[in-house]
Amino acid sequence: MSSPNPTTTCLPASGSNVHKVELPENALVLAPTRQLQSLLTIIRDEKTQRGDFVFTSDRIIRLLVEEGLNHLPVVSKKVITPTGKEYEGVAFQGRICGVSIMRAGEAMEAGLRDCCRSVRIGKDEETTQAKLFYAKLPDDISKRFVLLLDPMLATGGSCIKAIEVLLEHGVEEEKILFLNLIASPEGIQKVCTRFPKLRIITAWVDEGLDSNSYIVPGLGDFGDR
């Protein structure tokens, strides 16, 4: 009998104990599948080149957007298929809008644009304050579900500011889904406590923040990568 390949380690397909933090009820973490863990390993690797970083983060963003869409309400819808038979299906109820927090959130737009109309709002990079300027939000944004995008949830400052802007524009808190690649436990707690009706969907929860408010182990500055 041949011996097992010593370079192969079998990880559980999806472990339940990977994220060691207690999460608020309105925070959801994607299942830590082998696929997701391998994609995150690529984007975390300091040796990963820009092209691979963009390609791989797009794949994770797509997983987040698809999961986000699963949380939107549906109504029954009957259609007739080309075989002439009836099919009792469902259709999304309501309209959606993607809002990305600049600069890094812009990188998440491609995955979103495939699924819905999207716009941007931005952080003031000069002051690094969580002061937002924003492109024109759709006039009917208050009637839409909003997928708010920011790849890194660190202190939660810019995310909270962006949510406040959406609320000021009449968006209902329960209609906001915040999609995020990597979150700090601090950021999740802060945002979820402040906005208990909003939902956060993240791909991974990391250990915490360093003294520069970078997520660790994290992946560095997402915008620079």
Chain residues that interact with ligand URA, rule: CB under 6 A: 104, 152, 154, 214-215, 218, 221-223
The helix or strand, by DSSP H or E, that contains position 177, with its residue range, turns out to be strand 176-183
Minimum gap (Å) between residue 161 Cβ and ligand URA: 14
Q: Which is nearer to ligand URA, 97 or 122 (CB)?
A: 122
Q: Which is nearer to ligand URA, 140 or 221 (CB)?
A: 221
Q: Which is nearer to ligand URA, 47 or 136 (CB)?
A: 47
Q: Which is nearer to ligand URA, 114 or 210 (CB)?
A: 210
The distance of Cα 103 from the centroid of its chain, to the nearest Å, equals: 15
The helix or strand, by DSSP H or E, that contains position 163, with its residue range, turns out to be helix 157-168
In angstroms, rounded to a whole number, what is the distance separating the alpha carbons of residues 178 and 99?
9
Q: Which is nearer to ligand URA, 40 or 215 (CB)?
A: 215
The distance of Cα 76 from the centroid of its chain, to the nearest Å, equals: 27
Minimum gap (Å) between residue 215 Cβ and ligand URA: 4
If we measure between CA atoms, which residue out of 104, 110, 212, 99 comes closest to residue 148? 99
Count CA within 13 A, CB hemisphere, residue 127. Answer: 9
In angstroms, rounded to a whole number, what is the distance separating the alpha carbons of residues 217 and 181?
13
Q: Taken in order 53, 56, 60, 62, is the CA torsion positive or negative?
A: positive
